[in-house]
Amino acid sequence: MLHDKDLVSIQEVRTKVETAYAAWQKYRPFTQQQVDAVVESMAAAGRAHARRLAELAVEETGYGNVPDKLAKNLLCADLLPRRMRGMKTVGVIREIQEEKVVEMAVPVGVVAAILPTTNPTSTAIFKTLISLKAGNAVVISPHPNARSCTCETSDLLARAASEAGAPEGLIQCITNPTIEGTNALMRHERTGVILSTGGHGIVRAAYSSGKPAFGVGPGNVPVLIDRSADVEEAVNKAVDGKAFDYGTVCSSEQAIVAEAAIKDRVIAQLKARRAFFCNPAQKEALGKLLVTPNWTINPKCVGQAPTKIARMAGFEVPADTSILVAELEGVGKQHPLSIEKLSPVLALYFPKDFSAALEICESLLHFGGLGHTCVIHAKDDARIREFALRMPANRVLVNTAAPHGSTGITTNVFPSMTLGCGAAAGNITSDNVGPQHLFNIKRLAYAVRRPEEALEIPPVETPGVVAPGAAVPIDRQSVVSAVERYLSSRGVGAPAPPAPAVTQAVVGNLAAQVVDRFLARRHQAAGTTAEASTPPCGHSCPQGVQGRPAEALPVLPPPPPPPVLDFVCEEDVRTAIREARKIFIGPKTIVTPSARELASRSDILVLAER
């Protein structure tokens, strides 16, 4: 019998992944209607037990408070399923008739759901619902300090899913979680994708597992209060967001940045909301308490009440204190409270103007919140847009509390507990993760054009050769010169000067044809028979040119043989068909099969002797 915790955890992971995978095989044929029935049953169970699960989470972890934990549970069990209703995630999800493309959802299989200790029940509801909505199974790995409440949530959802017809074993939860067990889950061959929520270490491990993974980054959320804002409303929302579940949401406000012109109004409203202003000594003590030498947050302070944190730092605050605030002069390691604090502690900045405020907000995001979330309170839309374009964050919220806006409670972003931070933060997505991220899309695509209709291949330019259909500028002098050269080649008239290469090639050929036809008509008008007038050269020449008798005319050389091509492709044949001309080939000419097939229909190819 195994006694080593890591070995026990690894064996449990292996067993439960195989169980979930076997159940998924039975779940795969479910229709959209059947899948939706399973999701609705789980959501109803989550709503019915939302308060009890919130109480279990606070009791076991000691983080946050029950009312706000309840709100997060309802976000995932109520708002999320309402948003997912009607979303196609199984079978054919879209058909683009005008493009003749059909899109089909393909589930990834087993989802490895790694959970944090700060939001153990709400995240369990969230990841289970989106996994099964996308047609997958799920194996949950709880944080060791939140094992009981997470497993209770998982069992509740599993029973509800079974009651709606889902296969037994589709939802699994690891009851002996360890780091080694979690790593085994992420690397298991049956694992299709990883949903990782937690600290930097676990997110990095997920991305290093060799499996597709959705992780998140830290959120050092700046809140800019512009002079055009309703200052009272803006401060109230910032306090609500910072105090929400004692700051455990990664998108909670971390700093208020307000122009100096409205500093007094901001401070007055903060005091009206029972914010406690730390003096320099208290600020220094708070920084030493919250931030470890390794620049991580002291876990004993995470999600604790402001009164408790102040007491741990060595000073007392009124019992009704909502948050602790500290005015800072800069951003960086010289200012410990300028990082993400995961507690009801808020930094304050009062720069001289809007431009300086933008600088501070951008610095805060680069100092531990890159790609995550930022907030602006303003009525001036030009400044709102300037702020949004400038900030390196993927959720730019306007006139809302940050946790509520980022998770979709007060905005129309997708309701989510997994907020991607994009490539800048090393994340695979910048989206609020949902079921749409947990299936692949297969595309059925019908042929709508031939290759030659899709690609415009420019012709190879050769000196003296004009591409088919290309326009060549021809002036009067070029035509005269070409005619004179042709007559000279037949021994008639004086030699003409050469023309440019391209013009000579085109006009010379044209001139030869015109002169030949002209001379032939003159010959026919004189009533000369072909036998009497046709010289050994094979040309039909008239008996006299420019008043000279026929016997005085020199014998003209034969015309040059037609050009024989070395290579003929399908496009050459198509061009010849359009121009109603023949293609002359020799015994060694290479003709592509497609060109020969096309030419056979129009009798284009002519075998010529070289």
Alpha helices in 314-390 (DSSP H): 354-366, 381-390
- What phi-psi label fits residue 242: left (phi over 0), alpha (psi between -120 and 50 degrees) or beta? alpha
DSSP string, 402-419: HHHHHTTSSSSSPP-S-B
CA distance 499 to 493: 17
Report CA-CA distances (Å) from 314 to 98, 160, 162. Answer: 69, 48, 52
Burial classification of residue 212, based on how many CB atoms lie within 10 Å of its CB (0-12 exposed, 13-18 middle, 19 or more buried):
middle
Rounded to the nearest angstrom, the gap between the alpha carbon of residue 406 and the centroid of all alpha carbons in its chain is 19
Cβ pair 234, 399 in contact under 8 A: yes
Q: Which of 184, 190, 193 is nearest to 211 (CA)?
A: 193
Any catalytic annotation for residue 361?
Answer: no
Query: Which residue stretches of 432-564 are H helix?
Result: 451-454, 476-489, 501-525, 530-533
User: Which of 191, 184, 182 lies closest to 136, judged by CA?
Assistant: 191
273, 267 Cβ separation under 8 angstroms: no
Give helix then strand counts, H and E, for the chain: 22, 18
* Length of the chain, in residues: 610
Q: How far apart are CA 266 and CA 258, in angstroms?
A: 8
Nearest-CA neighbor of 286 among 330, 344, 245?
344
Distance of CA 69 to the CA centre of its chain: 32
Tokens of 9: 């955890």
Burial class (CB in 10 A: 0-12, 13-18, 19+), 494: exposed
- C-alpha dihedral sign at 452, 457, 463, 466: positive
CB atoms within 10 A of CB 508: 19
Both tokens assigned to 393: 């964050």
Q: Which of 76, 173, 250, 361 is catalytic?
A: 250
For residues 373 and 76, what is the distance between their CA atoms, to the nearest angstrom? 20
Question: What are the residue numbers of the active site?
Answer: 250
